Every structure is written in C-alpha cells, then in structure tokens.
C-alpha cells in the first residue's frame, strides 16, 4: 500500500479535487433520482409512471456506475473515498512507525488533518509542523 507524505498528498489535490467535485455532484444527482423514484413508486397509478420509473432506474444506475468509476480512480491513486456526500477522502500515511490517515474534505485548501485508522472523521486532528 502506498503511504503519502503531507507534501505528496497536497501535490495530488488538483486532480483529486476535480474527481471529488464530480463525486459530490453525481452523488447529489443520484440521491435526487432515488428520491423521485420513491415518490413516483409510492403514488403510481397507470402506465405513465411505470415508464418514468424505468427511465429513472436506468439513469440512477448509470450515475451509480459513474460514481463507482470515480471511486476506482481514487483507489488507483492510493486514496480512499470515505464519504461521497461530503467529498471526504483519506490518504494512507505513517506517523511514528504506525499507520494513520491524512484526511481532506472538499472545500479545504490543503491536507491539514489526520486521524488514526480506526477513529475516522470524528477523530480528526490538526497536523503539527513536525508531520508536515
């Protein structure tokens, strides 16, 4: 498994930011289609809603495939997508000989946080200068 330094993680951000922006946008679109599907299914009468349901299902499946492709693209870079809605990713790293995760969220200017592998987003801590 690749381990990133803070500098390496930050150097990937121009590409990663574009991918994560696509993830967040498509996740929102996927949720909208699922919500519309639920709404139509709960009040369906006649053949017209059935055609719309089929169309929405096809569209939602395509968006889901696109999301999976974006996630694979990040994984190929050695990056873990943690939350499609927030645009949250982790870069595997190391601190004092143990594995940690450098944490970045869409909208942040650079990688400035880290957390233990098992603590997740709630355990995010600001990077100290020694780690940078």
Where along the chain do its domains lie?
1-132
Q: What is the pTM of this model?
A: 0.88
Q: In this predicted model, what pLDDT tens digit does every residue of 8-61 receive, in sequence order?
A: 999 999 999 999 999 999 999 999 999 999 888 777 666 667 888 889 999 999
| 52 contact partners, CB below 8 Å, separation of at least 6 | 40
Identify the pLDDT of residue 131: 53
* 57-61 long-range contacts, CB within 8 A, separation 24+: 59/33, 60/30, 60/33, 60/34
| Residues 6 or more apart whose Cβ sits within 8 Å of residue 102 | 4, 6, 9, 90, 91, 92, 93, 111, 113, 114, 127
| Averaged confidence pLDDT in the chain | 92
pLDDT at 71: 98
pLDDT given at position 46: 61
């Amino acid at each position: 498994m690749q381990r990133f330094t803070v500098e390496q993680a930050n150097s990937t951000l121009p590409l990663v930011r574009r991918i994560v922006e696509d993830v967040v946008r498509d996740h929102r679109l996927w949720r909208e289609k699922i919500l519309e599907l639920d709404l139509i299914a709960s009040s369906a009468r006649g053949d017209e809603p059935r055609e719309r349901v089929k169309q929405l299902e096809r569209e939602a499946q395509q968006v889901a495939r696109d999301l999976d492709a974006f996630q694979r693209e990040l994984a190929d870079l050695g990056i873990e997508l943690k939350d499609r809605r927030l645009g949250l990713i982790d870069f595997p790293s190391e601190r004092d000989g143990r594995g940690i995760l450098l944490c970045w969220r869409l909208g942040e200017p650079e990688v400035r946080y880290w957390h233990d592998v098992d603590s997740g987003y709630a355990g995010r801590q600001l990077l100290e200068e020694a780690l940078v």
